[in-house]
Amino acid sequence: MKLACVSLQFFSSSTPRYAGATTGVAQMQRLSIEYNDYIFLPKGSDVSRCPVCGQLINKWEQNLAAIAIRRLPRLDVSTSVDGVVVVKEDVRLFLEAMFPEGIRYVSLDRGLSTIRPKKVVAFDAAARKTRFGKRCDACGEYEWIVGATPVKLLSSVVLGDAEIARTDLEFGSNDQKNPLILLGDVVGSALASRAFSGLTVVRADKPARG
């Protein structure tokens, strides 16, 4: 089947149709990403961990670029066991065209990259009834955080139709914790049309399938 070719011209900041347009949670999109078997930050390695609970400290500041990768992942987009989103080169090129300033990339071995949206939006844990595991008094990290979907954001949150963002809360347990990645309606639809393997774009206001 031939995939539709999506023009990136409509993401230009000079295009008046999308200038200032915003997306509410009802139209917002969320990335659902499959796992690979990579572990970037194994226990016992030279990474910063809390001496009391063993949780990763400054997880997103670790030097992942120096880690050797044995083989390419099967999927275009995937998440490591410890919550790092990995993309192949063609995905990065597409995202760079779509979000020239919106994503922080770290170049990895074998032409791969990590992605992490720069914009952070406030998750409404009370409205979602999100549950929190034991909090370490030493580092402040929770053992686990569950209850991410359907997404609930504070009413003050604004996300443009052509923006990408991550939640301030990171969901999951222990090393696996990572934020939700959210998209405005316009760019969410465009990304979905590319059909990158390992990546599904879903409605943010719908619960994840168990």
Read off the pLDDT of residues 29-70 as tens digits, 9 standing for 90 and up: 999 999 999 999 998 778 899 999 999 988 999 999 999 999
CB 164 within 8 A of CB 182: yes
b/e for 178-188, b at 16 or more Cβ within 10 A?
bbbbbbbbbbb
Provide the pLDDT for residue 167: 98
Listed ranges 119-128, 154-163, 200-209; the one with the highest mean pLDDT: 119-128
- Domain limits of the chain? 19-203
CB 189 within 8 A of CB 35: no
In degrees to the nearest 10, what's the CA dihedral of 73, 41, 33, 167? -150
Cα dist from 61 to 104, 120, 140, whole Å: 12, 16, 17
Q: Length of the chain, please?
A: 210
Residue-wise pLDDT tens digits, 59-104:
999 999 999 999 999 999 999 999 999 999 999 999 999 999 999 9
Going by C-beta distance under 8 Å and a sequence separation of 6 or more, which residues neighbour residue 15?
Answer: 9
CB 89 within 8 A of CB 51: no
Strand order in the sheet with 77-79: 77-79, 85-87, 113-117, 103-107
The CA-to-CA distance between both ends of the chain, in Å, stands at 29
